[in-house]
Amino acid sequence: MKLEDLYWNPFVGWLIFKKPQWSSNTWALRKASVRCALELALEERPSDPDILAAQEALKLETAEGTKKNSTETSATKAKAFPTADRLRIFAALSLGRSTRARELKDWLRATCVAGLRPIEWRSAVLVPPERGYVAKMVVANAKAGNDRAHGELRTLRWRDLSRDTWEAISRTIAIAQTFSSDTEYNTYCRKLQELLHDYSHRLWPDRIEHFALYSCRHEAIASAKRIYAREEVAAIFGHATDDTCMSHYPRKKNGESRGGLDEVPIPDPDEVARVRLRADASLRRVAELADRDESSATQSAPNVDRDAAQEEATLDPFPTPPLKDERLEQERKRFGAKMWLDYSKQSKLGFDALDRSIEKKRDRSREQEPEEPHGPGFRTKLSKEE
């Protein structure tokens, strides 16, 4: 379905109807996404009553009424898998009668070290390592097809790997390759997940978050963050850019302590270089967009005395924002080099939406209250609304 075919007002009504099922963070994220889409749709159809009504309804909707303790999907899945908890689960599995107990123990041990996505175990291959390494694995990146990986393959190497971990990795690969299709393997993974879910609830019945198979990948990424730069982490775990591991995975404080990091894989230098090239290209595209917008604005706008404009802006409750290239530079300094790439993807749309929002609020205020000055708390109120 295309955006131009969407009836926005009923869609926003459905979004508001679903709000009580989501946490405040989930609601804020989805509201921001829809507001951005509405801004883009409004550029195509500036006077469309359906879009204007939807925009106004969504603007007035706050986070009040959202679920405080969400029990939906990822809200109940642990984003880390500490060693102490793994050992408790291993002990419980050893005492149990499940025929898949050993397979689950191997899967957890191997994935907490290698950090593979569940489906990637089917393509993993152990190959003879180079001199100075004890193990080497080549994996097909699961998300390479939609340009969300740095390449078709990634390579993991270890200089230190315990025999138990190496055997767990070997058995996990061997079992994954016995299945003839991804569908069969996914069914097998669901059975492992059910077993893990059962033991997690038995051992910690009062917890809100429980362990899932994907918790192992989260644990591996958090551990790698403690010793590697962000582009190296992206290369190890198959991400196309270095902002994915920072935005969608736990912080490094959730990973293993320094003493438990010996088995973290070593990134491949060529793959790290590919991640850096993509990051540099993204920054160049942002700079080019900013330069193009600035040049077009300069050609179309009349010459105005900058000092007079700045003096007028200080008296205006809706000050005219600085030029886009100036704001981009300000945000670079504010966020730092490591956080800039993640932020820059939304900068152009965000700045354009901010400009339009300020202009609308300025016009509306002058129409409604042309003679009364704004109160002392007006600016604070405005910032909260935005």
Model confidence band, residue 77 (pLDDT cutoffs 50, 70, 90): confident
The terminus-to-terminus CA distance of the chain in angstroms comes to 30
The average pLDDT across 236-252 equals: 62
pTM for this predicted structure: 0.59
- Taking a C-beta distance cutoff of 8 angstroms, is the pair 9, 53 a contact? yes
Distance of CA 321 to CAs 9, 290, 310, 326, Å? 30, 14, 10, 10
Non-local (6+) Cβ contacts of 22 within 8 A are: 30, 66, 67, 70, 72
User: Measured between alpha carbons, how far is 244 from 263 in angstroms, rounded to an integer?
Assistant: 22
Top pLDDT among 347 and 106 is at 106
The average pLDDT across 84-102 equals: 94
Q: How many helices (H) and strands (E) does the chain have?
A: 15, 3
Strand partners for 69: none
Strand partners for 1: none
- Taking a C-beta distance cutoff of 8 angstroms, is the pair 104, 93 a contact? yes
Sequential DSSP letters for 207-231: -SSB--THHHHHHHHHHHHTTS-HH
Whether 16 has a pLDDT exceeding 80, the answer reads yes
> Given this model, what pLDDT does residue 363 score?
65
User: Measured between alpha carbons, how far is 130 from 158 in angstroms, rounded to an integer?
Assistant: 10
Give the total residue count for the chain: 386
> Given this model, what pLDDT does residue 326 score?
55
- The 10s digit of each residue's pLDDT in 30-45 is 888 888 888 888 888 8
Non-local (6+) Cβ contacts of 45 within 8 A are: 51
CA atoms within 13 A on the CB side of 56: 8
Whether 266 has a pLDDT exceeding 50, the answer reads yes
Non-local (6+) Cβ contacts of 215 within 8 A are: 77, 78, 79, 80, 81
- Taking a C-beta distance cutoff of 8 angstroms, is the pair 265, 110 a contact? no
Tokens of 114: 């290698």
> Given this model, what pLDDT does residue 283 score?
57
The average pLDDT across 243-260 equals: 50
Tokens of 9: 């007002």
Non-local (6+) Cβ contacts of 168 within 8 A are: 105, 106, 107, 109, 110
- Residue showing tokens 């994954």: 176
User: Measured between alpha carbons, how far is 232 from 115 in angstroms, rounded to an integer?
Assistant: 14
For residue 344, which of 325, 367, 369 has the smallest C-alpha distance?
325
Tokens of 85: 């908890």
- Percent residues over pLDDT 90 in the chain: 32
- The 10s digit of each residue's pLDDT in 203-235 is 999 998 899 999 999 999 999 988 998 888 888
In this structure, of 57-71, 213-227, 230-244, 367-381, the range with the lowest mean pLDDT score is 367-381
> Given this model, what pLDDT does residue 21 score?
84
SS3 call for 78 = coil
SS3 call for 244 = helix
In this structure, of 75-79, 162-166, 234-238, 344-348, the range with the lowest mean pLDDT score is 344-348
Return the number of other C-beta atoms located less than 10 Å from residue 56's C-beta.
13
Whether 86 has a pLDDT exceeding 60, the answer reads yes
Non-local (6+) Cβ contacts of 138 within 8 A are: 124, 125, 127, 153, 154, 155, 156
The average pLDDT across 139-152 equals: 77
Non-local (6+) Cβ contacts of 52 within 8 A are: 42
User: Is the alpha carbon torsion for 140, 143, 144, 150 positive or negative?
Assistant: negative
> Given this model, what pLDDT does residue 64 score?
86
User: Measured between alpha carbons, how far is 202 from 85 in angstroms, rounded to an integer?
Assistant: 13
> Given this model, what pLDDT does residue 1 score?
52
> Given this model, what pLDDT does residue 359 score?
61
**In what helix (H) or strand (E) does residue 126 lie, and over which residues does it extend?**
strand 125-127
Model confidence band, residue 376 (pLDDT cutoffs 50, 70, 90): very low
> Given this model, what pLDDT does residue 366 score?
59
